Amino acid sequence: MIVGKCLCGEINIQIKGEISDIIHCHCSLCRKNSGSAYATNGFIKTDEFEITTGENSLTIFSFKPGRKRHFCQKCGSPVFSSNDQDPTRLRIRLGLIDSDIIQRPISHNFVSSKANWEDLDEQLPRYNAFEPNRT
């Protein structure tokens, strides 16, 4: 079982199946929704997904007919997206997940619209905490 929650902890979820087709999406919509260079998304089966607490705190933004982004109205965390054309699956934001995830991303998508400051091939140093000399 995979579990997760929004930033404020109001909405808790569990997934009884696997997460598939994990991608890093660089499209302008995902960048704006995540406030970051890209969003890491995966698909789950609708019937294997449950909001265990906080369903009343979930709100929806429909940016295209039939496509909805479901997020916490208290902290703004994106929880999942739904598409009326495929009611059997939901797209989940992996940053929401607290459990270890076995599956790995399969691709970077919409790289032609990636942020101009994002360099996918750059080898930046990695730290377990803040970068050295941070004030």
Burial state string for 94-114 with b = 16 or more CB within 10 A and e = fewer than 16? bebbeeebeeeeeeebbeeeb
Task: Find out whether 85 and 66 touch, Cβ atoms under 8 Å.
Answer: yes
Give pLDDT tens digits for 98-117.
999 999 999 999 988 899 89
The whole-angstrom separation of Cα 10 and Cα 128 is 28
Helix (H) or strand (E) holding 97: none
Q: Which residue matches tokens 């691709």?
A: 107
pLDDT of res. 131: 64
Sequential pLDDT tens for the chain (135 residues): 999 999 999 999 999 999 999 999 999 988 998 889 999 999 999 999 999 999 999 999 998 899 999 999 999 999 999 999 999 999 999 999 999 999 999 999 998 889 989 888 776 676 677 667 776
Contact 122, 27 (CB under 8 A): no
Query: Which residue segments constitute the domains of the chain, with CATH numbers given?
Result: 2-22+38-104 (2.170.150.70)
